[in-house]
Chains A and B, each alone.
Chain A
Amino acid sequence: MKPFSYERATDPAAAVALAATPGTRYLAGGTNLVDHLKLGIESPDRLVDITHLPLDGIEELPDGGLRLGAMVRNSDLAAHPQVRRRYPVLSQALLSGASGQLRNAATTGGNLLQRTRCVYFQDVTTPCNKREPGTGCSALEGYTRYHAILGASDECVAVNPSDMSVALAALDARVVVLGTDGERGIDLTGFHRLPGDEPDRDTVLTPGELITAVDLPALPTGARSAYRKVRDRASYAFALVSVAAVIELEDDGGSGTAGAPPTFATVRLALGGVAHKPWRATRAEEALRGAAATEENIRAALEAELEQATPLRDNAFKIPMACNTATSVLLELATGTGTLHGSPGNPGTPGQAGEAGQPETREQP
């Protein structure tokens, strides 16, 4: 490991000023960066510790949304009462990722910036365009069970490993960043990049920009959300496929003709484990707007979405897996059946933008 200097930043502007020097990296929870220091993937000259910045709060926004400080630990975010009641998809996504120890250290901002677990990216003895641009992609001819089926390029077939980001994509979250030119907001769906011919760039952040918060917009009353993750073991593994869904039903949903399926007003659907970024399934969303929430309709929408998929040697299974997982999540959310069906005893607090009686999900081993 190359020697580096260490400084603790005390306010965000000072951190950004320190990071203007090339060779500087921000240190937050360190669960990914410290590992990369050991592996030789990162070799900064200086670390600026941002964990002492006053960015560890969760605040109500005037529009009814929620502002998540960038230094809120993943475990605290998942446990926050307002997140659990109003944005269960986010709480579930966080809890399905990593371990208790890692969630206690990892931060909201750091989670957004965690890098792919592509084995070739993490092994500095192998070529990797993401780690060393121009050296080639070892995965293209390698073991690709964990790689992308959507939006990849000839340069890189890695996937984004975050569960949290998939939920944030479905929630239309906005990332607030601070740079030397001031603050700007970036839609979460545009925050991470597809690899194209610059796979070394995971996000649209410019060097030295600091994530200060993530804003969650208010969800309409009656919106339902859930996250489901499929992986090779029951816990503590990265996703093969994951699904984050936020739906609204038409007013007659559930109370119309006896036995008739409810009708989707809107569907927001993001897939994890399938692409270089959280994949918003916009084709499926469009197909389901105003559609009856039947298995046939949902499956057809997902199949239309996954027509774009270009599987690699070892991961064609992800196409039916994504289709089946998303279909079951949407169907269960819409009809309040299956494992997503939660206790109705969740009235929330008066006046909040919560969703009384909202179905919840639980982990599917």
Chain B
Amino acid sequence: MDAEITLHVDGHEHTLTVDTRTTLLDALRDRLGNTSPKKGCDHGQCGACTVLVEGRRINSCLALAVAHDGDTLTTAAGLADASDLHPMQQAFLDQDGFQCGYCTPGQICSAVGMLQEANAGHPSAVSPPDVLADGPTGSPLDDDEIRERMSGNLCRCGAYVNIVAAIRQAQSGTGTTGAAATGAATTETATTGTAS
């Protein structure tokens, strides 16, 4: 059964008719030609399909396109300004944060969303007890925090060490572009919704 939906993807509005069974990932790749999000496991286990929806990272393979009618999405292809790479993208290049690159767009979207969550004070399972209880400290995430918060993104080449280094670089804003990653997120990704 078909439904007409509108998606705002990487700054562009698209109105399309989709079968209700279409996932957000398939709509992006097969209908809109945005092959930045990748289909890895297609079951929410690998994170290669990660995109930002209303500023929050989700697995687009487990989302129905019809359920996101009207939503604003950012894929890794839409993170960059016209001329400069997003600091997270630059950091992955600087730190050699990939080998085959298949998981990379998902890793980058996830990392951008993850740093926004951290800046909003979201704890993780490895947050120290006082942080877990009381909120953000403003201090940068250590490697344990980065690993835990990125555990939903698998890299079968095993580039994890450099992925962590890239996220550390983007977090500190010491990349070759000089821009602070967390402050330079695109406007589409700047709003972190909260339900509480």
Report B-chain residues with C-beta under 8 Å of the C-beta of A35: 43-44, 62
A151 contacts the other chain (CB 8 A): no
A69 contacts the other chain (CB 8 A): yes
B104 contacts the other chain (CB 8 A): no
Report A-chain residues with C-beta under 8 Å of the C-beta of B138: none
The 8 A CB mask of A225-253 against B (1 = contact, 0 = none) is 00000000011100000000000000000
Report A-chain residues with C-beta under 8 Å of the C-beta of B57: 100-101, 104
The 8 A CB mask of A54-73 against B (1 = contact, 0 = none) is 00111000000000010111
> In the bound complex, what is the Cα–Cα distance between A37 and B67 (angstroms)?
15
Q: Which of B64, B66, B117 contacts A75 (CB 8 A)?
A: B117
Do B42 and A38 touch (CB < 8 A)? yes
B97 contacts the other chain (CB 8 A): no
The closest CB in chain A to the CB of B124 belongs to A95
Do B151 and A6 touch (CB < 8 A)? no
Do B127 and A362 touch (CB < 8 A)? yes
Do B196 and A57 touch (CB < 8 A)? yes
The closest CB in chain A to the CB of B152 belongs to A99
Number of interface residues of B (CB under 8 A): 49
Report B-chain residues with C-beta under 8 Å of the C-beta of A58: 195-196
Q: Can you offer 24 A-B residue contacts whose CB atoms are under 8 A?
A: A1-B21, A3-B20, A4-B20, A6-B1, A6-B64, A6-B67, A30-B62, A30-B63, A35-B62, A47-B20, A56-B195, A72-B196, A79-B123, A81-B135, A88-B132, A100-B57, A100-B114, A101-B113, A105-B59, A342-B132, A345-B134, A359-B129, A362-B128, A363-B125
* Given contact pairs A30-B67, A104-B57, a sample of 12 additional A-B residue pairs in the complex whose CB atoms are under 8 Å apart: A4-B21, A6-B20, A31-B44, A34-B64, A38-B43, A75-B117, A77-B196, A99-B152, A101-B113, A235-B147, A236-B152, A362-B126
B contact residues vs A (CB 8 Å cutoff): 1, 3, 19-21, 23, 42-44, 47, 50, 56-59, 62-64, 66-67, 110, 113-114, 117, 120-130, 132-135, 147-153, 194-196
